[in-house]
Structure formats: C-alpha cells, structure tokens
Structure 1
C-alpha cells in the first residue's frame, strides 16, 4: 500500500505523530509520505489519513 500527501498540507504534524514510519516533514516543512505502508502500519496510516484536518492524505495500492 502507498500513501500520498496532496497539495494543501498545513504542516499540523498529525500524520507524522500518528505514523512516523510512513510520514515525515520535507525540507519545505510540509508532510510527505516517504515509505510504502507495510502491513503492520496500515492501521496507523489509516488513522493518520482520517485525522488529517485538511484531508490531503490518500492511501492506495
């Protein structure tokens, strides 16, 4: 499974806090998905997506 952070991130840090195995801040201070989602982190990645206040996280194959 893959994650993608679309344009519109407000750098709140929720995804990074909830699932640091997949999300981090890039050099511009915006969140990015830097790793594929391993099966053991799917639940945390889904929580990060669902917790995003601006709904810019997509999860897919």
Structure 2
C-alpha cells in the first residue's frame, strides 16, 4: 500500500475511534456518570466530555 493510502487509512481509523469514544461518552453522560469517570474510561479530555454534555443539553 502506498504511503499516502496508509496515512489516509490511519487518519480515518483514528477519526472512527474518536467518534466511537464520543458516542460512548454521550451514553455514559446520559446514565449520570461523572465527567471525570467518563474521561478516564474513554480517554477523552474532560473538556471534550464537558463539551459533549453541553451540546447534548441543548438538543
């Protein structure tokens, strides 16, 4: 596989993993889990989890 294709594939996989972590974080937020616990479990930053929480509360 050419280097360009490997790089694009890697970026796509990383984006997919991030989207999955955010989806899990949102489910945990809705179950009442704390931002700190979610951050620890999903490896998202506390700021990212808080932002998800704020976005969800606006929906």
Q: Is TM (by shorter chain) over 0.5? A: no
TM-score range, shorter chain: under 0.3
* Rg larger in structure: 2
- TM-score computed with the length of structure 2 as normaliser: 0.28
More helix per residue: 2
- TM-score computed with the length of structure 1 as normaliser: 0.27
Greater relative CO (CA pairs within 8 A, separation 6+): 1
